[in-house]
Amino acid sequence: MMSVKVGQIVGALLITAAVATASIAGAQDGSPVADATPVTGDAVASLPLEVKIGQLIIAGVTDTEVGDDSRHIIEDLHIGNIILMGRNFDSPEQVLALTRGLQDLALEANGIPLIVGTDQEGGLVQRASYYAGFTPMPPARLAGAADDPALMDRYGQMVGSELAAVGVGLDFAPVLDVNDNPTNPVIGSLGRSFGTTPAAVETSALPFLAGLEAAGVIGVGKHFPGHGSTTSDSHLDLPFVDKDLADLEAVDIAPFAAAVEAGIPAIMPAHVVYTALDPDLPATLSAPILTGLLRGQLGFDGVIITDDLGMAGIMQIAPPEESGVRAILAGADILICVRMPIDGACQPEMIERLHAGLVAAVAAGTLSEARIDESVRRILALKDAYRAGPASGDALGVIQSPDHLRLIAAIYTAVADRRAEVR
């Protein structure tokens, strides 16, 4: 159990954390968030190392209700954030009970609420599915074809309100990749991109992001600096993009630059090598890309969250115990291990290796506590800005409500009307 002293420190941090990562953030009920004073360096530095390292990780759990697996992840490893996969979704009531139990566990063990996230893009990538009792989402490609920013804002609010109702405070969406290779096996062919041009992506993705923000849910733009032109799937291989810098800036990077300008709170880099930016390393491990381009040139000051560290695109470079350290040193803040026993994913047992690798890197002097503190400040500020913590349970009625079903119908109608116009 966490000591009273640690609890007092963490409580002070969460009360005073600067709202630095979400310029248009709201609470999970959509109410405005008041400005707060900055976290002091001494307060963050006073946290136990195991708690700080836990804040740098998002891990999957196998449970549909709090059980031994969740307790191991949160109590033994002090993991500070959780990603829910399809296996964790049976019904809205069940997910609410799970997230509330996870939050209670985290507050008791570590004194800091969790960020609980999931992939809710639409189409083939929606963990909170119709079969689990949630409103079905069309693929981003179809939603983008509506070419209606106001509709996309409402759509983002709909998605965010259903997630927030069950205690999920982060959505690994919107996809900001431009679909300039329709045969791309992981973006284009799966309908995950909003459009084939930067303008089309921005027209739909940025309002969707604003809708998530209005619902008090953290949006994560992915996969920086763009996965739309690859010819292979980074779950299964390490893709290379050989575009020149001018082409990357004009197409792939443009939606991310626009999202940074709009105040996006979090961005996910790709397990992809961009030879014009870094000829040797994928974006996940590249300081020139994460620190030089994203933070330096684009001015992003939010949280950088890696893609799953068990994907083949990163495993070809290094296992999680090494890639996690290298990603943090390159500029990332949070590392994902989904703990799924399938090919191309971080396996359940890899979480111990990832955690141990970070601990060992600190002990060896490879990773300084000062660098860890830098990321912990960003993470705690993000949690404070979005009021991380247990959901009240009062908003379950919005899920699959008539208004939400009518909104989905309106998207399909808008697409049909647009297609009729161009015939």
> Burial of 347 by CB count in 10 Å (0-12 exposed, 13-18 middle, 19+ buried)?
middle
CB of 303 closer than 8 Å to CB of 334? yes
CA 108 from chain center: how many Å? Answer: 24
Nearest CA among 209, 398, 173 for reference residue 305: 173
Which of 307, 308, 333, 384 is catalytic? The answer is 307
Nearest CA among 75, 62, 161, 38 for reference residue 407: 161
Q: Is residue 78 annotated as part of the catalytic site, yes or no? A: no
Which of 78, 235, 355, 404 is catalytic? The answer is 235
CA 392/CA 413 separation, integer angstroms: 34
3-class secondary structure, 226: coil
CA 209/CA 217 separation, integer angstroms: 9
Give the number of residues written for the chain. 423
CB of 372 closer than 8 Å to CB of 56? yes
Task: Report angle CA 220, 224, 225 to the nearest 5 degrees.
Answer: 150
What is the residue whose two structure tokens read 């296996």?
87
Q: Is residue 235 annotated as part of the catalytic site, yes or no? A: yes
Q: What residues are labeled active site?
A: 235, 307
